[in-house]
Structure 1
Amino acid sequence: MKKKKTNLLLTLAVIIMGALVMTTFNSCDKDDDPVEDPVATFQYEIGEENFLQVTFLNFSQNAVTYNWNFGDGNTSTEENPVHTYAEVGNYDVVLTAANSAGATHSFSQTIEVKDPDEALALLAGETTKTWRLYREGTSMGVGPNVDDPRGWWALENDGSRPCVYYHEFTFTRNGEFIFNDNGSFWGEDAIFTGTDVHGTCFEATAANMVNSGGTNVSAWLSGTHAFEYNPSTNMVTLNGTGAWMGLPQLTTTGEQNTPVASKSFRITIEERDGYDYMHVLYQLDGAVWSFSYASYSNPSLEPEVVSWMVDFSYSVEHRTVEFTNLSGATSYFWDFGDGNTSTEENPTHTYAEDGVYAVVLEGTADGETKSVTKNVTIDTAVLSEAPPTPTHDDADVISIYSHIYTDIEGVNINPNWGQATVVTEVDVEDQKVIRMAGLNYQGISWEDNAQDVSDKTHLHLHIWSATETEIEIFTISPGAESPVAVTTVEGAWKSVNIPLSEYTVQDLENLIQLKFEAAGSPTIYVANIYFY
């Protein structure tokens, strides 16, 4: 019996020791498991019944405790607090989240607490309020992001599109949105390209409102629609087919050349001396459209609409240039930059030799004279030499346009960006080459097949020009672009290898376009475009 008891005690001891060892190992395993860092973030909702009451929705991760600072001197440690502010205003709210190891992360957001009735009164007045495009500085534009919403293009009250400054947009307190075209409309590129009204101020009649696809778009003319306004998000929604503000073709998510039933955009309104200023923002994928409107309590402060301007376009064939007058003057004087002049409205001029000529057009109307100067490049040199053959290994290349590599799918060498450049594809000794004639700017796009070039180091291309010319070459990702300048070699191909490290703002994991820009409208040839 003693021997059995002893064996039993030994067995129990072994079991206890094993349990202790397992517990120790498990404890070590738990100690070795890293605690993930917290990530603080939140959203909020303004109370429908009480606009001073804000419900905070906590979406933090890997956190066990929370500390809120509501920006008005009050705090909370609740996970999803509800806080009532004493008055309207802008408040910087900070949420600090901590994990079980004591690590913290903070997230801040400025919230605007405002009386919805007062906000609606800023938009729609006591009964109605009418807005027109702002006539000082720039009034609309497009850019890569909200920090640069007019970086790509902007419109001023300079006489180039006078009709758009007469358009009136009225909001009423009973929810009506009324557009008055005042008898004229502008022929937008995105809607009317290829029609007689494209690029002009034309009479606002249903017969004239036919888009480039043959569809009648007269729903965009004067009409009464409805609107909704959410002051807590600053979002305005226009309801009714043809309701628009900003540009007719803009929608909540993109552009469309036919009227839609509804669209939304963000607004902010400032009270200024004698007028209110409204900023309208459409945030699209890869671009931001921005518009400025004003409503004057003192009409005498509103500047007059500039009704005409002086401008021209041109096309070059060999050494003969056809000038197209885009001005609104009544008489004209041309100086072609080579000692010859003309008083015709749309002259044709032949230059005696190649060169860059500063062409001046003066226009006169109502006793006032305005002028514009543009450089015209005459370049008749003929490209007869094929570009050099690249030597990089095919496996190391992402090819956009080349005669030797396999190009990616979906490349468009001539997207319609409103450029004056004339693009053709030519064969030189059985090699394909892009000719950009009269280059002001020109894109190459593959936006439906975005490329990750983050594992590459350089952008390569061959460029030929008859004269030494500076070209800016942009790489573009959605919402971001920047240039690198290169100089061509006179009458010879230049092999260009741009380090991608020089493109500092683009997302190299999501490149969608290239852009070429130059002054003086030169003609260049481009080939063998690829990343390596």
Structure 2
Amino acid sequence: MINKIINKFNRRFFTSCFMFLGLLSCVDNGYEEFVAPTGNVNNIQPNTLFTATTDADDDLSVVFRSYSTDAASYSWDFGDGNTSTEANPDYTYSTGGLYMVKLTTVSSDGLTAVDSSEVAPIYVDFDFTTIDSEVIFDNLSNGVSSLIWDFGDGVTVEWDVEDTEDDSDFNPVHIYATAETFEATLTATNFLGDEVSVSKNIEGLILSTVPDFTFEVSSFTVDFTDASLLAVSHSWDFGDDNSSTEVNPTHTFATSGTYNVTLTTTNEAGVSKSITKAVPVGGVEPTFKAIVLNGTADDHQTETGDNADAWDMTPNSTVVDDVLGTIDSPYRALWYNSELNGYIDETYCTDEQPGSSSDGSYVDGEKTRAVKLSSWCRRLYQVVAVEPGVEYTFTIDTRSEAEGINTEVFILNTEITTEVGIEDYADAYFTITNDFNSSKGSASDNTFTTNTFTFKPSSDKIVIYVRSLSAVDSSNEVFIDNIDIITPGF
């Protein structure tokens, strides 16, 4: 009985299994084999970043450290033509300066990331040689934007990269007044504003005299002024078989020419040193006439503003002429001092150019044009070619409409970029205080006052520079006319 039941169960079980397998064989599976994705599925961009730190033992060496996500390769460009494929290179520049460094990384997915930054390696050092108490410094530094020399005796000298390495303050010469030991310090600033200092002891100085002198020439007579250090006796050789032992002698030469004058000084220890300078006497003969452009302010009258263009520190590129109409400015090619113009504009001046006025002086009964200063910040500015050493006569007509409105006239030996310390660049300076006349006047009553003074330029170009800081509006303005430079013999 039991066998019958088991046989019956087995037949039903196997029948069910065959039916289930047959059903499965009739169904399509409908899918592909799963393959894991590769590459940057979410398009997430890798980042790269690096730091640059100057090596503590070498200011020309920079330690680079990268902080990059998923970087499989590195490409460094150090900005001086050299490269590296290291992840974290240490690099030494051969010369200091300002360099743009770029790091390019490539991720495992082939994506690129870039970072860049400036570095400013610097080298600071100096040598020196001594001659008695005079020290000649040899600056070995590079990659510097500015310098401060501290000679250790309270004297400092500053240098800026705009001065160029030809400037004497880059390799200064310093004279010590005592024979002590001094610590000289050179502090250099790189192009990112970081400072590095080097100090050295100045030893073995021998106290010695340092001869020097200045001179003023008036025709054939020369006044000599001693400027020596540590001198107890003086010996002058004027170069014409004459001599003197005075401290500050005056000597008259017999003929014109240039004489080599030698001053020998001796200190308390009996050490002597000499210096020789060329001294021109008898006056310098000019070879050409100094030309003042539009000193009468009468040219280019079609538009009154153009009458003052010759006196603008930033002349217009074109001006308006009576006959020719608009023409290229004859002044723009000779000077264009935008730096000084910007300096004056920084003081909130509306216009540094002088104005043009019909209230000029009279010629043959007719009133001419003039320029005017109607604001404290207006200036007259013109560059004129001259010859050093020639004695010129400067003449100018002015009229101020209020008392106390003084006008300053500078003859500068260079183009300045700021009025700070302007007196240091003046070969001559004159203040006009005698030109007050509030009336408009007439042809028979010329209201302008003429002032003249002489000057000797120290360079081959001078700048006529005129200002009136008390002329603040139209009620106290200053009118200026007939500006000229008289050249002897022309």
Give yes or no for TM over 0.5: no
Q: Work out which of the two has the higher radius of gyration on C-alpha atoms and give 1 or 2.
A: 2
TM-score class, shorter-chain normalisation, is 0.3 to 0.5
TM-score (norm 2): 0.36
TM-score (norm 1): 0.34
